[in-house]
Each structure stands twice: as C-alpha cells, then as structure tokens.
Amino acid sequence: MATITKVSPLAPAAFPDLPVIDGVTFATMAAGVKYQGRTDVMLALLAPGTTVAGVFTKSSTRAAPVLDCQAKLGGPSDGAAAILVNSGNANAFTGKGGVAAVEAITAAVAQTCGVEQGRVFTSSTGVIGEPLPAERITAVLDRLHQDQNPDQIEAAAQAIMTTDTFPKGAMALVEIDGKTVSIAGIAKGSGMIAPNMATMLVYIFTDAVASQNALQAMVTRHADRTFNSITVDSDTSTSDTLLVAATGASGVSVDGNAAFEAALHGVMQNLAHQVVKDGEGATKFVEINVTGATTNADAKTHAMAIANSPLIKTAIAGEDPNWGRVVMAVGKSGAPADRDLLSIRFGDIEVATKGFVSPGYAEADAAAHMKGTDIRIGVDLGMGTGASTVWTCDLTHGYIEINADYRS
Amino acid sequence: MATITKVSPLAPAAFPDLPVIDGVTFATMAAGVKYQGRTDVMLALLAPGTTVAGVFTKSSTRAAPVLDCQAKLGGPSDGAAAILVNSGNANAFTGKGGVAAVEAITAAVAQTCGVEQGRVFTSSTGVIGEPLPAERITAVLDRLHQDQNPDQIEAAAQAIMTTDTFPKGAMALVEIDGKTVSIAGIAKGSGMIAPNMATMLVYIFTDAVASQNALQAMVTRHADRTFNSITVDSDTSTSDTLLVAATGASGVSVDGNAAFEAALHGVMQNLAHQVVKDGEGATKFVEINVTGATTNADAKTHAMAIANSPLIKTAIAGEDPNWGRVVMAVGKSGAPADRDLLSIRFGDIEVATKGFVSPGYAEADAAAHMKGTDIRIGVDLGMGTGASTVWTCDLTHGYIEINADYRS
C-alpha cells in the first residue's frame, strides 16, 4: 500500500462545523476490515419517515452493495433506515460471495437496530477482488448501535476515508417560512492504493420534509452539474455512491422549493470540489468553462475532453498557458466545433479569438495566471447557447508516484 | 522547447534497409522553418500515373494542409504528383493565413516540379497557432527539385521528425505472379514540444499498380486496425495524416490481391508500433487483446478504455499486475459487459475467470510478466465473438517531464 502522508496543498484549513441534523445519529468503529489502528466502519441511523434518494456509478462492473442500494431505493419508505459504510475492501468483483456478504450485513443491521432490511443501505470502498470479511463488521454492530450520537458526523467522514488526505464535509442552512432547514454532508475520494481505484462516496443529510420522488429528481438533476462534472483522471469507480436522506424533523416541506434546491446544490458542489482538491498529486484546482456550444450536452463533451486531456493537465502542472492543446482537445472531443469561431481564455486573458491568436495577446499575462492555485480555462465555441462547467486538477509526478507504486 | 536527448528504450536497433521504390524520389533541406542545424523539409516526387490514397485526423479543428489533402484526394489522378512535408510549424489554428500558406507552397511546388497543383499534397507538424513562414519553404524548392534521389528515404524520415527520438521506417516485399512488388514506409510521432502535440505523419510508397478506389478502400480498412488502434495518451492531433502512393512501376496489379494487402497491413502495423514505442516517456510496449465481446466495435471500445486508463498505464509503469483496474476500465467503457462472465489474463497467466479471481492464481507469476518490456493484457467478455487488439505504452515520470516542461 502506498504511503500517503502529506495532506493535499489544496485542502481546506479545517473540517467545517457541521450542524446536527435532527433524526440522524452516527457511530464509528475500528473493525479491522483491512486497516489497523483506525476506524473503518460507520453506521448512520435515520428516524422513521426519512426519505432516501441516490445516484450511483454507471459502471457495468459495479459492486454488490451498489446493486443492492439501487434495488432498495424503489422499496418501502416509511420506517427507520440505516446507512452502513466500510472502508478497506470494496466488495467488488467478488461474485456470489459478495452478494452474500451484503445480505449478511444488511440482515444483521436490520436485526440489531430494528430497521427493515429493505431500508438498510451499504457501501464498501477499498481493495477489489478480495472477499469482504462480513463477520468483522457484524461483530461490531452492537457497539455501533449503542454508541449512536447525533454529533459524530466528522468521525463518520474519517471512517469512510481510504487514501484521502483529509476528511470532507460541507453544510448549508436555509430559512423557509421563518424556520431553519439544515443540510450536512460528508464525502470521500480520490486518493487510491493499488489495487484500488478512486471511489467517491457521498452522504448528505437534511431535516427537510421531502417526498422520495421530489428528492430523487432534485438529486439527479444536481448530481449532473456537481459530482458528474468533476474528473481527476477519467477513470470511473465500480462503487461510486451518493445518498441523500431527508428526515423531515424540521417539519418544513421542500418539494419544489428553490431556496432548498440551491442550498443542496451548494453542498453537493462544495463536496465535489473537495474531492477534486484531494486528487492524487493535485497542485492546481482547475475550472473549465465552455460556452457557445450547440447544446449543453455538447458543451460538457468539450469541457470533459479538455479536463481529461493528459497534455492539458501536464501543461497546467508546468504552469504553461498552452492553448494549442485546448484547440486539440476541442477538436478531438467529437462534439461540433468550428475552428474559425473558437475563442479561448486563460483566467480573464483572451488568448485566442475566433480561430486565431488574439491581437495584443502577451504570453507573460497568461503565464502569470497559470502560477496561481486556481486555474480557469474558458472556451467559447461561437455556435449557440450551450454551456457547461467542469472541474479537474493537474497531472503531476505525484500522480505517477501514488499510482505506479508496486504493492510490496 | 523540451530537450529530449535520450532515444526511447523501446526503439529498434537501427533504421531498416528500405527498398528503393521505382517511381519515387526524395530530397530534404534545412529550411530553418523553426529548428536550426537540422533538415526540416522533405519533398517526394511521384511518377506520372501514381495513385494516392489517404486517411486523416477526424479532429474538427484540423489544420489547413489536412483539409487541402482531403479535398485533393478526389481530384485528378493521372499526372505526376508530389508530397511536401515540413516540421517545426503545424500551420494549425492559423486562420486564412494558413490557407494562403498552403496555396503558396503547393503552387510553387507545382511550378518548380511541373506537377499539377491538384496533385501536390502537403503536411505540416510542429508549433500550433504561429503563422507558417511559407517563403522559407518556397525558397529551397529549386534545391529540393534538383537534389531528387531515389535512395533518400531515410533522410526523409529524419526531416519530418519533431521530438521523435528515432526515425521510423518499415518495408515488405511481396512475390506476385513471379514478380516482386516493394513497399517502403516512413512515419513520425509522438514526442512533443510545448505548445505542440503528438502529430502522427505516415507516408508509404509502393511500385504496385493500384486503382485509386481499391487502394483507398484497402488503406481505410487497415488504418482502423493499425494507426487507429494505437494510443499514447488519448489525445488526438489536428494534423494526423497517412498517405499511400502506388507508382505502378512494377507493372503488377494488386487490386483485390490478398498477399499485397497482408504485406501493406504488416508495414502499417510495424510503423504504428514504432510510434507507440516512441511514446513520451514509454518504458513498456503494451498489447491489449479483447475477445468475446458482442461486436468488434464493442471490443475496441473496451480495449481503448483499458489502453487509455491512466490508472492502468501507471500500474504498468510500476510493474503491478493490477487487474482490479482492468475490471474498472471495462466497467466504465460504456460498451456491454457482464461482471460475472469477465476473464482477465496478464501475459499467459489467467488472473480472473468469469467474475472471480482464478483458482490457483499467484500474483508472483503475473508480477514476473510485468517486469518484461512487452506486456500483454487479455480480456474475454464471454458474451460473443467480437474481438479487437490495440497497442499503447505505460505512463511514467518521463511523460510528465516532457509535457509539463515550461517553455523558456
């Protein structure tokens, strides 16, 4: 296992102060799934009536817990609910044994905590292809049940880390009809250990009252513009999971409420940015903003082609305002583009205008922007009104060091 | 400009002995387009009656010379023809000035060499976004015309290099009806200099008699399985060009001839492999073989997802038989896959069988294979008969060094 001791230079100064969410409690344990000397299981219990929405990896080789969660989202939605997450083992590519492990864990949580098994959601993150030792997890369930505490969300964020260099949390408070609705979320991703991959797990809790249908629609809509608009290395995990749970304890209904939706979007975007800022070897946080495309989907295709280009990511690492590579990425993306309408900005500096280097462009200006930590690349296609913003990080020696490290 | 002094460890021992192709002559010059102290222009003249076929980049921001070549392939095909290539400047993203530069050069070649302008094909490779100084090229045309020599193909291979660490050549001789048909080809790619990109240029010459239609169909068919089946970093140049010229001097017709087609395929594959072996920072040559897919196209989608995965490429650099990352790449590719039918091989070692680690798999065996220079990864999807083979190289610190280097 690669030893990653240094916290990302892009990490926030501290874990934020997250509000307690009425109707949610947490506990964590060191179950020894794989790691020694640290917590590796977290159990969150959700009050009766909590609605749960989710978005999952589209991988065709997705792990057993993901398939189980997806099946359960359409199931019963009245009683209490539980979310159990382990780190250290992904329970992926583990065949029928993997399915049996999920069955054993969810059955044990249901019995211990008095929750319907159809309302027990699990995630696993860590090594692929090794059987998950479910008994190590079920052995600590009594303690996880007894230790439940509403104020342990930071501990939960720590227990789900694999090679993350910092725990990730974000929050929002929304005033609706004179009452306060709270949102608190945690995430893990994107350090990795051979033979793992950058799994992203996200759990967001709110005391809002939300119908499952409305919450699911909202989460799906905003996942597309947050978690599905980030990329570290274009690789997709078999375990990516986002769950949003609304306990209803505030008594404030948010179905169709724009202020709540904006606040939820903010929490999702904040967590998504933190995942990028913990990208393997990242030294720069990069925003790619594409406008003027024929459609929003085309804009995103171009933006992702730029964000995933190794040539662009290495140029950013080298603080090189290499706009020729941006032309290349737009050209290869497969979405419509017209070379002679294309304009490119680095930060606020107009580099190329309608297919030609901008008059008065001085490379020194763009180079100055590239020396910062927050890099912005803007592309206008000059064709329509489609737009998209995505976020990524640079590609550095650190990425190679972390990922080429041979398991000893 | 990054200084690349070391020849790739995967380079062949020497440039091959290429046969003289009757009907083709070459000359090279140091025109000072950008580089100093080396040749940077090559002119090949082709005898009257030569048929020319081509395949080009699909980039929507492709360069002016590419657009010009594409337009000319459907044009007149009787008289003499010419191919002029410069290195140092790509004449890409150069607007109307770029089109004018192609017009000026092709008109000058036509006049100097007595060739129809519609039969003058050009390629440019090097810096993007800088006006091509066409006058430096037209200034040396008289000398290029006078110096024509059938035995200068190696010099031509050298003149078209940018940051290639070795010149690339390949050949084949085919016996047809008691006569010998010769094929000789040269290529450049894939070192790069900021703000350049890995352009691939390929020129193949044969003395076969071929109709334009039959030659074009053959070249298109085999480009898909050779040059379009390699990837260094998933980035696509605005200038990629493959031209195949058949002079007819042997008097042997090869339309529909399987032996000729196989020989041409061999030359194309050999050159494609050499481009991969000169990949930036490459220390391993990697063959990805996907079988059992629903269609050949699906197999290629999976193979390319594996070949382009930064996690797999860094694992190969680290000599790590990280099959979990292969599961991940198959899962994310977007083509159909069933986790429980998936089998994976590293070299001849069965690592995973039908969705589970193979019985008796010992990681030490796979690790031994990874220590070699030629790495083979096999994936069987267990679903159908679709198959595809693609080639790539590993992702190393050398890639970062070459591409993150700031222009000074």
Q: Is residue B264 part of a domain?
A: yes
- Report pLDDT for B406: 41
Chain centroid offset of residue B372 CA = 24
Q: Residue B5 has what pLDDT?
A: 55
CB spacing of A315 vs B93 below 8 angstroms:
no
Does B330 contact A at CB distance below 8 Å?
A: yes
B405 pLDDT band, cuts 50/70/90, is low
Has residue B16 been placed in a domain? no
Same domain, A246 and A324: no
Q: Residue B309 has which token pair?
A: 């995965």
Selecting from B311, B319, B403 the residue whose C-beta is nearest the C-beta of A315 gives B403
Confidence class of residue B195 from pLDDT cuts 50, 70 and 90? very low
Same domain as A32, residue A75: yes
CB count in 10 Å sphere of residue B367: 16
Q: Is residue A127 located within the same domain as residue A235?
A: yes
- Do B83 and B181 lie in a common domain? yes
Residue B1, pLDDT above cutoff 50: no
Count CB atoms within 10 A of the CB of residue A151: 10
Task: Answer whether residue A13 is part of any domain.
Answer: no
CA nearest B128 in A: which residue?
A324
Tell me how far apart the alpha carbons of residues B405 and A328 are, in angstroms, rounded to a whole number: 18
The residue length of chain B stands at: 408
pTM (predicted TM-score): 0.85
Per-residue pLDDT of chain A (408 residues; tens, 9 = 90+): 344 458 889 999 999 999 999 999 999 999 999 989 999 999 999 999 999 999 998 888 888 999 999 999 977 778 999 999 999 999 988 888 999 999 999 999 999 999 999 999 999 998 888 899 999 999 999 999 999 999 999 999 999 998 889 999 999 999 999 999 999 999 998 654 323 345 789 999 999 999 999 999 999 999 988 988 888 776 667 788 999 999 999 999 999 999 999 999 999 999 999 998 998 888 999 999 999 999 999 999 999 999 988 889 999 999 999 898 899 899 888 899 998 999 999 999 999 999 889 989 999 999 999 999 999 999 999 999 999 999 999 999 888 887 776 443
Q: Chain A interface, mutation test: which of B127, B380, B403, most A Cβ atoms within 10 Å?
A: B403
Residues 189-208 of B with CB under 8 A from A: 192, 194-197
> Is the same domain home to B207 and B336?
no
Edge-to-edge order in the sheet of strand A168-176:
A51-56, A241-246, A201-206, A179-188, A168-176
Chain B 123-142, residues with CB within 8 Å of chain A CB atoms: 127-129
- Domain shared by B126 and B264, yes or no: yes
Given B62, B236, B331, which is nearest A236 (Cβ)? Answer: B331
pLDDT of amino acid B2: 42
**pLDDT at A95 (0 to 100):** 85
Which range among A103-112, A310-319, B335-344, B358-367 has the greatest average pLDDT?
A103-112
Tokens of B163: 């940051």
Domain co-membership, B196 together with B247 = yes
Contacts of B330 in chain A (CB under 8 A): 60-61
What are the phi and psi torsion angles at B208 (to 5°)? -65, 155
Q: Are residues A241 and A219 part of one domain? A: yes
Query: Model confidence over B300-309: pLDDT tens digits?
Result: 999 999 998 8
CA pair distance B289, B302, nearest whole angstrom: 10
Which residues from chain B sit within 8 angstroms of residue A328, using beta carbons? 59, 61, 128, 197, 235-238
Could A404 and B318 be called an inter-chain contact, meaning their C-beta atoms sit closer than 8 Å? Answer: yes
The answer to whether B342 contacts chain A (CB < 8 Å) is yes
A408 assigned to some structural domain: no
Q: What is the pLDDT of residue B61?
A: 82
CA A81-A196-A167 angle, 5° bins? 55
Q: Is A320 in contact with B195 (Cβ distance < 8 A)?
A: yes
Contact B93, A352 (CB under 8 A): yes
Token reading at B172? 């084949």
Beta bridge partners of A349: A346
User: Which of B34, B57, B59, B240 has the most A C-beta neighbours within 10 Å, making it the best mutation to test the interface with A?
Assistant: B59
| Chain A nearest CA to B214, separation (Å) | 29
Residue from the list A127, A320, A327 with its beta carbon closest to the beta carbon of B93: A327
Distance in Å, alpha carbon of B398 to nearest chain A alpha carbon: 9
Is A18 a member of any domain? no
**Cβ-Cβ contacts under 8 Å, A308 against chain B:** 234
Rounded distance between C-alpha atoms, residue B257 and residue B254, angstroms? 5
Cα distance between residue B155 and residue B138, in whole Å: 19
**A397 reaches B (C-beta below 8 A):** yes
Q: Is residue B236 part of a domain?
A: yes
| Pick among A34, A199, A328 to test the B interface (most B CBs inside 10 A) | A328
CA distance A240 to A199: 5
Query: Worst-scoring range by mean pLDDT, B42-46, B175-179, B320-324?
Result: B320-324
Which residue from B62, B233, B331 is facing A238, i.e. has the nearest CB? B331
From residue A148, give the alpha-carbon distance in Å to each of A143, A153, A243. Answer: 9, 11, 19
- Pick from B200, B175, B369, B375: which is nearest to B272 by CA? B200
Q: Residue B317: which of A92, A93, A400 has the nearest Cβ? A: A400
Q: Enumerate the residues of chain B whose CB falls inside 8 A of the CB of residue A342.
A: 61, 93
- Of the residues B199, B231, B238, B241, which is catalytic? B199
Best of A91, A197, A286, A377 to substitute, by most chain B Cβ atoms within 10 angstroms, is A197
Q: Closest partner residue to B406 among A93, A320, A336, by Cβ?
A: A320
* Any B CB within 8 A of A291 CB: no
For residue B322, which residues of chain A lie inside 8 Å, CB to CB? 194-195
Note whether B284 and B242 are within 8 A (CB). no
**pLDDT number for residue B389:** 95
pLDDT, tens digit (0-9, with 9 covering 90-100), for B84-115: 999 999 998 888 899 999 999 999 999 999 99
Residues in chain B with CB shorter than 8 Å from the CB of A336 are 60
The verdict on A61 touching B (C-beta cutoff 8 Å) is yes
Domain CATH code at residue A98 = 3.60.70.12
Q: Is the pLDDT of residue B299 over 80?
A: yes
Residues B114-142 have pLDDT tens digits of 999 999 999 999 888 889 999 999 999 99
When CB atoms are compared, the residue of B59, B332, B355 closest to A331 is B59
Chains A, B: CB pairs < 8 Å: 219
* Closest listed residue to residue B182, CA positions, set B243, B248, B269, B241: B248
Residues above pLDDT 90, as percent of chain B: 73
Interface of B with A in 9-38 (CB under 8 A): none
Rounded Cα gap, residues B95 and B45, in angstroms: 28
Residue B370 lies in a domain: yes
For residue A382, the domain's CATH number is 3.10.20.340
Task: Enumerate the residues of chain B whose CB falls inside 8 A of the CB of residue A403.
Answer: 310-311, 314-315, 318
Mark yes or no for CB contact B328/A236 under 8 Å: yes
pLDDT above 80 (res B77): no
Q: Are residues A74 and A214 in the same domain?
A: yes
End-of-domain residue from the set A252, A277, A302:
A277
- Examine the pLDDT at B387 and tell me if it is beyond 80: yes
Domain boundary among B239, B256, B277: B277
Looking at the fold, whether A194 and A311 belong to one and the same domain comes out as no
CB-based contact A236 B405, cutoff 8 Å:
no
Range of the domain at B332: 285-403
| Phi and psi torsions of B244, nearest 5° | -120, 125
Give me the mean pLDDT over the B334-356 stretch.
93
Q: Is A404's CB within 8 Å of B327's CB?
A: no
User: Same structural domain for residues A130 and A168?
Assistant: yes
Catalytic-labelled residue, pool A199, A206, A226, A231? A199
Q: Select the residue of A129, A329, A336 nearest B357 (Cβ to Cβ).
A: A129
**How many domains, chain B?**
2
Same domain, B116 and B259: yes
With contacts defined as CB-CB under 8 Å, which chain A residues touch B62?
331, 339
Please tell me if residue B329 touches chain A, with a CB cutoff of 8 Å: yes
- pLDDT of B204-254, one tens digit each? 999 999 999 999 999 999 998 898 888 877 677 778 899 999 999 999 999
**Interatomic CA distance for residues A238 and A241, integer angstroms:** 9
**Using the beta-carbon criterion (under 8 Å), do B327 and A93 form an inter-chain contact?**
yes
Select from A257, A277, A297 the last residue of a domain: A277
Q: Is residue A53 part of a domain?
A: yes
User: Are B95 and A310 an interchain contact pair (Cβ–Cβ within 8 Å)?
Assistant: no
* Residue whose C-alpha is closest to residue A332's, from B197, B220, B163: B197
Give the pLDDT of residue A402.
79
Scored b (16 or more CB within 10 A) or e, B215-236 reads bbebbeebbebbbbbbbbbbbb
The angle subtended at Cα B356 by Cα B351 and Cα B362, nearest 5°, is 35
Active site residue A61: no
Find tokens 């269609």 and name the residue. B295
Strands B349-353 and B241-246: unpaired
